[in-house]
Structure 1
Amino acid sequence: MFTKNKRVSLLNYWTSRYLLTLFVGLAIISFISAVWIRHTAFENRLELMEFLADETIYRLTDTNGPNNGPVGGIPGFIGNRERFSMREIDPILYVVDVEGNVLTSNRPVPPGSATNVANLLDGEEGTKKMIETSEGDKTVQYVVKKKIKKDNEVVGWVLVLEKKQNLTKVDQAYGQLALLIGALAILGWGAIYFLSKRLARPIKQVAEAAKQVQEGNYTFELPQNNKEEEIYELVSSFKEMATKLQQLEKTRTELLAGVTHELKTPVTSISGLLQAMRDGVVTGKDADEFLQMALIETTKMKTMVGDLLAFNNFAVDAIPVKLVTVNINNLVRDAVAQWEVMQDEQNVKIQVHFLAEAVKVQADVVRMQQILTNLLTNAKQAMQEGIITITLSQKDNVVVVAVKDTGAGIPMEDQAFIFERFYRGENKKYSVRGLGLGLPLSKMMAQSIGGDLRLVGSTPSGSYFEITLKKATTL
């Protein structure tokens, strides 16, 4: 058993995926930003501890300042520094002598701490990481050590200690980051929703218009003011397609009526002629003439049915094409001679300008003869008398067969549709019997042998067609 897939709207589909992508991206940015903020705060606070140690040494060694003396006024100074510059952290500051005895501190010294402070003195300045273990708990601290020198002699040390958790604590910054990320998420969701809705609207309108076309209604309205190039092309292409379908539907209706009329006429004529002969209305030579007329009408009907079958076979690629290498001069000469033999009236003359040298092409001889026959027949129907000129020329790797006539030409409004199947212009619809398959079938034949057939131009003084064929490759 097959289950029907659940469909969701374009707006919901893309909005959900855009939001997922947005949130994943913002989560990654948040993590990287938090790590960066934590690291930056840590580095800045270590620098503050170093600055505090340097300031302390400066105050202790400044003989001109108000705090002149080995330890005088130090606690008050440290208190001011802590109150005004060290609000985010709470470091412990020790001033010790060269033996490690604590001379002063910014807070009371717990019992046993003096020994621990003395152990920190290893003769090197800088920042050091310490790990203390107490009752199974590990505490990570950083200590900044600076020498106190007087007359280039070390007289003591300044130690500044702080726990790592205080150095990396940035709760306020995390809150600001969360607020920023939240605002970006809301803004991104709004932008995504608006853009997805804007994108989905014309597509939904096209889908609704497609349903109307499916029901046979070709009259609908679609907006033409889309600024997006792809959406504009989609809407424009769909409207053009609907117009084309409407035209094809109209052509199909006209085709049915036209084919019915064209086939009904010879059938009616044959039926009437045979009925007259059967009833004895005509006898003798008149009966023979009636029989001949019936045979002519039968031939016309057979030709029209043959055109329909040939066109259908070419449309589905059911007719194999046999390409051979042939001299184009001989091919055109034979096709023209064959067409002239079939003509009863010689009021149309043909002039052929062959190539000066023998050029071979790849072509199907039978199909090429059919194409030239159709063009010559159409040219003859377009004029009472005149000249048809066939000119052969070479262009790069192709040979061009140009067919020009001096007929009435094809009206401008019909030129764009002459290669449409079953299309017949107003000039020929009532004057010449047929199904409107000659030129479409000829173009399909030309393309099937690797060439093409096109209308170069048409004016009231004549029409100009070109057949292109590929030259035969020489080894």
Structure 2
Amino acid sequence: MSMKIKKRTTLQRYWTKRYVLTLISGLILLSVFSLWWMEKTALEYRLSLLKYLADETSDRAIKENGQIVVGPILSEIVEEREKILHLNQQPIIYIVDPDGSIIYTMPQLYIDPDENKLPDVIMKNTELIQKVKISDNKVYVVKSPITFNDETRGWVVIAQEEGALKEINQDHGLLAIMIGGLLILGTGVIYFLSRQISRPIQDVANAAVQVREGNYDIHFKEEEEIKEEEIYELIKSFKEMTNRLKVMEKLRAELLAGVTHDLKTPVTSISGLIQAVKDDVVTGEQSKEFLDISLKETQRLQGMIEDLLNYNAISAGAFKIRVQKENINTFVQEIAYRWQVTQEDGQTFALDIKVPDEPLFGLIDSLRMQQIVINLLNNARHALDGNGKITIDLYEKDEGRICIDVQDSGRGIPEHEQQYVFEPFYRGENKKLKVRGLGLGLPFSKMLAKAQKGDLILKDSNQQGTTFTIILEKSDQG
């Protein structure tokens, strides 16, 4: 059954497309709102001008004797004021008597004598600006009274369709130019910013492909030139990871050669010793001594193989851990004593054990925890040059955690090697020359500690000594 391959696109194209679509949607909403606002503003502005025109017309439409007259001067004034409105459709101006009978219209309209009167809906409404519906048309009506000696002698009524008052033809072009300009500018800015963001990510992606193919020689833009914190951290972390992989790749080859050598050496030694006994090169007591040496080498080889098997077993999750409550004070003292008495005669180091007055109880697998402590003590012993001191310090770190510090006064671990001490098969330069082994002690101990819901960390290491800390899960005394 064939699987459909999803088509992918570049980060820059993906986000540019979405940002532009978002921009277009926003501009459409902005355009709709702008058109609504412009129509609303134009309507209010033109209604106020119509009211002003009605007021001015009413003032000029009556003589001193109180008679309503419409002369040429009034017509000129009305025409001049109408130009200010910028309307495609001229409004209709009615001059009517108090009852609403039409006296005069501008422009001149034919009016049926039977219908020579404005509707009551207009005349009886007390509002001077009103919106009415006439013959399915929405019309705005503006009124202004013609008064003489505080007596209403008539009305000036200006009527205009709503659509004509909301027309903004002259502003449509300006709005289109503005929206188009924002779209072009916004698209350019979005493309530029997307490119700025996607370029370093694309560089990291390309570098990841090279790393996948085994090429660790990666070059990025100088970190000082990167302004974005997240991009800076991404590139910095990737460079550190690449450098670490590069070092680990080099170490892998060296460690494979070292492990092969450490396994091959006892086999070669055993083979040579047994061959010497078989060929009667040595006889008597010397042949017995050769066999004893062969047995010791066999035991050492067996120990290495067991280390490999144990490490593989716990890595695969096939290692059983039996955790139970133990008195850690007693546990530490007993392990330290047993280890000390097994050391060679003439030892020149001091062992100091510090435990709190109150007993601390922890959840551990005593057998596996013993392996961890003894491995740390052996490493501490190897780190001592001549006279020295090893200290075991038991204390409660915080609620729910117990710590065991194993500290030596040895030469310390070089700073550049400290990050690799828990890597499988890694052995520092000094230890590689003096102590034979596979380099699985610390990695195996850390995995055992984690399997017991604890941890093993390198707390500190300098020229005055090294401290490893075992972290345990605390148990209640009850």
TM-score normalized by the length of structure 1: 0.91
8 A contact 2:403–2:471 mirrored in 1: yes
Corresponding residue for residue 393 of structure 1: 395
Corresponding residue for residue 31 of structure 1: 32
User: Aligned equivalents of 1:89 and 1:269: distance in 2?
Assistant: 115
8 A contact 1:390–1:401 mirrored in 2: yes
Corresponding residue for residue 282 of structure 1: 282
Gaps of 5+ in 2: none
Query: Letter of the aligned partner of 1:229 in structure 2?
Result: E
Corresponding residue for residue 57 of structure 1: 58
> Among the aligned pairs, what percent are the same residue?
43
User: Aligned equivalents of 1:431 and 1:25: distance in 2?
Assistant: 72
Q: Please provide the CA RMSD for this pair.
A: 2.5
Counterparts of 1:259-298 in structure 2, within 5 Å, are: 259-298=259-298
User: Aligned equivalents of 1:234 and 1:113: distance in 2?
Assistant: 88
8 A contact 2:390–2:408 mirrored in 1: yes
Corresponding residue for residue 411 of structure 1: 414
User: Aligned equivalents of 2:162 and 2:462: distance in 1?
Assistant: 94
SS of 2:467's equivalent? Answer: strand
Misfit runs of 4+, over 4 Å:
61-64, 67-70, 84-89
SS of 2:345's equivalent? Answer: coil
SS of 2:133's equivalent? Answer: strand
Query: Letter of the aligned partner of 1:319 in structure 2?
Result: F
User: Aligned equivalents of 1:244 and 1:167: distance in 2?
Assistant: 74
SS of 1:430's equivalent? Answer: helix
Q: CA deviation at 1:394?
A: 2.9
Q: Which of 186, 189, 192 is residue 188 of structure 1 equivalent to?
A: 186
SS of 2:111's equivalent? Answer: coil
SS of 1:403's equivalent? Answer: strand
**Greater displacement, 254-263 / 172-181:** 172-181
Corresponding residue for residue 43 of structure 2: 42
Q: Deviations for 1:266-287, whole angstroms, at most 9, x for unmatched residues?
A: 0000111111121122222222
Gaps of 5+ in 1: none
User: Aligned equivalents of 1:146 and 1:356: distance in 2?
Assistant: 103
Q: CA deviation at 1:461?
A: 4.3
SS of 2:318's equivalent? Answer: coil
Corresponding residue for residue 83 of structure 2: 83
Q: CA deviation at 1:193?
A: 0.9
8 A contact 2:140–2:162 mirrored in 1: yes
Query: Letter of the aligned partner of 1:234 in structure 2?
Result: L
User: Aligned equivalents of 1:355 and 1:141: distance in 2?
Assistant: 96
8 A contact 2:146–2:154 mirrored in 1: yes
8 A contact 1:453–1:466 mirrored in 2: yes
8 A contact 2:361–2:477 mirrored in 1: no
8 A contact 2:323–2:364 mirrored in 1: yes
Counterparts of 1:32-431 in structure 2, within 5 Å, are: 32-60=33-61, 63=64, 70-72=69-71, 73-85=73-85, 87=87, 90-112=90-112, 115-120=115-120, 122-125=123-126, 126-133=128-135, 138-223=136-221, 224=223, 225-347=225-347, 348-383=349-384, 384-397=386-399, 398-431=401-434
* Count of aligned residue pairs for this structure pair: 469
TM-score normalized by the length of structure 2: 0.90
User: Aligned equivalents of 2:184 and 2:86: distance in 1?
Assistant: 36
User: Aligned equivalents of 1:51 and 1:111: distance in 2?
Assistant: 26
SS of 1:318's equivalent? Answer: coil
Q: Deviations for 1:327-367, whole angstroms, at most 9, x for unmatched residues?
A: 11221122123323433435144232332222211111012
Q: CA deviation at 1:452?
A: 2.7
Query: Letter of the aligned partner of 2:372 in structure 1?
Result: I
Change (3 A) 1:10 1:399: closer
8 A contact 1:94–1:158 mirrored in 2: yes
Query: Letter of the aligned partner of 2:40 in structure 1?
Result: H
Query: Letter of the aligned partner of 2:475 in structure 1?
Result: A
Query: Letter of the aligned partner of 1:10 in structure 2?
Result: L
Query: Letter of the aligned partner of 1:199 in structure 2?
Result: I
Q: CA deviation at 1:84?
A: 4.3
Q: Deviations for 1:361-389, whole angstroms, at most 9, x for unmatched residues?
A: 11110121111111111122223444322
